[in-house]
Amino acid sequence: MLRLLRYFRPYKRLLLLAVVSNLLMSLFLVVSIPVLQPFLQILFDLPGKAAAPPALQAATGFRALEQAVSGYFADLVRTQGRERALLWVCGLLVFTFLGKNLFRYLSLYFLAPVRNGVVRDLRNRLVVKILELPLSYFSEARKGDLMSRASADVQEVDSSIIGVVESVAREPIIILGSLAFMLYVSPTLLGFALLLMLFSGLVIGRIGLALRRQSREAQGNLGMVSAVLEETLGGLRIIKGFNAQRWQQARYERENARYAALLTRIGRRRDLASPLSEFLGIVAVAVILWFGARQVFSGEMTAPTFITFLYAFYNIIEPAKRLSAASYSIRKGLGALERVEALLAEPVSIRDQEDAQPVQAFREGIEFQRVSFRYPNAETDALRDISLAIPKGKVVALVGASGAGKSTLADLLPRFYDVTEGRILLDGVDIRRLRIRDLRALMGIVSQEAILFNDTVRNNIAFGLEGVSDADIEAAARAAHAHEFITALPHGYDTNIGERGTKLSGGQRQRLTIARALLRNPPILILDEATSALDSESEKVVQAALNRLLQNRTALVIAHRLSTVQHADEIIVLDQGRIVQRGKHESLLQQGGIYQNLVALQAL
């Protein structure tokens, strides 16, 4: 719980009001206990000033107070009548319980924004963290598991921990108040009751030892279930195309069955707490009845006092049961909280240095100096000893077989990854010494997969920019040869294009990403096989848009179709992470080697 307290700091005022309300509610509840005694005195028609038992004649403390209260209500009965006195006592009971429930509602009223605010803050922190983490983290992590942490785990924290904050804040006060009254009445009987409660607590505590570990395991299994479901939804076309429905279904059912079995074990352990605590409570009450009745028979305690003691003891049993259930719930929720905090604690390896320099413009060029790079947990380098200069205004193309390192080299420039060895210079300055936001603001990226969002055409083109006019958006769309198909859509630029732009064709999606890059008007472009997934007709239109995009810009172009880069200022041929050839199209053809073979293969 101490770890959770830091999430409540922004809500200290509301928490204080809730605690005060709980204190006042508990005060009214504790006051209602001795109020019950006059009611019993009047009900049983016990005289207030009759001779006390020998054991009470020299009484002090509570017993003296008991005799005074009894005498007061006995006088009230004599002066106003038994029914009138009973009415006063019942009115006092109603008043105490009205106060108790009024302040109980106020405590819930003040806790509601705290509970929802903490959950909101947790989700916001998770999304901020996910956006901060480097791409290398996501090569190992499962998207479904991350989604499970941001949704199911946070919800578990809400229901299992934050949901019982009220119990944790209220029940101890009620228990302490009742214990104080019981101590005042009979320390001996209270000591006897505490021994029984301690025994019950030890028995129940042993059952819950493994609950936190099992809960953490269950949340991990739920992450696997979510990951398989996410893969199923993303790969439906392939699953159906390969008739792999049964195979994928069996895979999902295995993970789901493992999760369900673990939840069953957790549920059985949790569900045992309530009946076991109730049974042990009844045993404790039975023993206290026997022990207390002996004190009444011996004259050490009056019958109304003993009944009031039992009422106070009951006021301990119910809060204790709720605290027991809360402890189980908290153990379960802590497993989810640990998974959430594990993600929040992930180190961000790519961040601004303390003395990072701002970047206002791109003036000279880009240079890769003896750059090597290895992916985390990989055994070999993806890039080895790469030296490359890209002067301002020049177009450099990267070609080579799949896995040669083309995309890896392009990803190093905007610092999606940091180099393992060597350095990358922008205008003579190591990019690790520049502010990341400024560095990436100089670049526009058009990838092979047209990454669009479930939003309007307008918002997808203006993505990440503020204060963009409709005229600028339309101009970018015209330059990308996209304006005609956009105006043909049902709502034009305000048409929602669906998840990942599924309402558009491949060529239309790619032209929207080019319009997005044009609107940013970046001095540096990274084109990652932007036409490789298109048919010939779409490729011509997109290539025309790309040619417009490349005008007067510095570009690093990853080419799959070599016909698109024949006019590049320099072509770099990569093989197994090394530069094996470089030059213009004609000179590379004359050299022979890998480039000539690639051109020949595509000419077939």
Distance of CA 22 to the CA centre of its chain: 29
What residues have CB less than 8 Å from 513, skipping those under 6 apart? 446, 447, 450, 451, 452, 530
Instruction: Determine the residue type at 79.
Output: T
pLDDT at position 465: 84
> Higher-confidence residue: 548 or 399?
399
Longest dimension (CA), the chain: 125
pLDDT at position 402: 83
Q: Which string of DSSP letters, residue by residue, matches 359-379?
A: -----SEEEEEEEEE--TT-S
pLDDT at position 537: 66
Model confidence at 323, pLDDT cuts 50, 70, 90, reads confident
pLDDT at position 38: 62
> Higher-confidence residue: 293 or 448?
293
Angular region, 468: left φ>0, alpha ψ -120 to 50, beta rest: beta
Residue-range domains of the chain with CATH: 11-209+267-344 (1.20.1560.10), 365-603 (3.40.50.300)
Model confidence at 370, pLDDT cuts 50, 70, 90, reads very high
Mean of the pLDDT values across residues 256-260?
85
Residue 542 has pLDDT above 60, yes or no: yes
Which backbone phi and psi does 98 adopt, to 5 degrees?
A: -65, -45
What are the pLDDT digits (tens) for 53-71? 444 333 344 455 555 656 6
> What is the CB neighbour count within 10 angstroms for residue 13?
10
Percent of the chain predicted with pLDDT > 70: 82
**Whole-angstrom distance, CA of residue 204 vs CA of residue 401:** 64
Task: Provide the terminal-to-terminal Cα distance of the chain, rounded to the nearest Å.
Answer: 68
Strand 429-430 to strand 421-426: parallel, antiparallel, or no bridges (unpaired)?
A: antiparallel
Model confidence at 194, pLDDT cuts 50, 70, 90, reads confident
Instruction: Determine the residue type at 4.
Output: L
pLDDT at position 33: 66
The packing angle between helices 165-185 and 303-344, to 10°, is 150
Averaged confidence pLDDT in the chain: 79
What are the pLDDT digits (tens) for 265-307? 777 777 776 677 677 767 777 878 888 888 888 877 777 777 7
> Higher-confidence residue: 86 or 12?
12
pLDDT at position 50: 38
Tokens standing for residue 244:
């792999």
What residues have CB less than 8 Å from 3, skipping those under 6 apart? 337, 341
Nearest alpha carbon to residue 479 among 456, 512, 501: 512
What are the pLDDT digits (tens) for 468-508? 899 999 998 988 888 989 999 999 999 999 877 888 888 88
Residue 52 has pLDDT above 60, yes or no: no
Residue 45 has pLDDT above 60, yes or no: no
Q: Is the CB of residue 468 less than 8 Å from the CB of residue 519? A: yes
Residue 428 burial by Cβ neighbours in a 10 Å radius (0-12, 13-18, 19+): exposed
Per-residue burial over 128-142, b = 16 or more CB atoms within 10 Å of its CB, e = otherwise: ebbeebbebbeeebb
In this prediction the pTM is 0.69
Radius of gyration of the chain (CA): 37
pLDDT at position 70: 61
Angular region, 574: left φ>0, alpha ψ -120 to 50, beta rest: beta
What residues have CB less than 8 Å from 532, skipping those under 6 apart? 448, 560, 561
| CA atoms 214, 220, 224, 229: torsion sign | positive
* Strand residues in 304-420 grouped as ranges (E): 365-373, 383-391, 395-399
Residue 604 has pLDDT above 60, yes or no: no
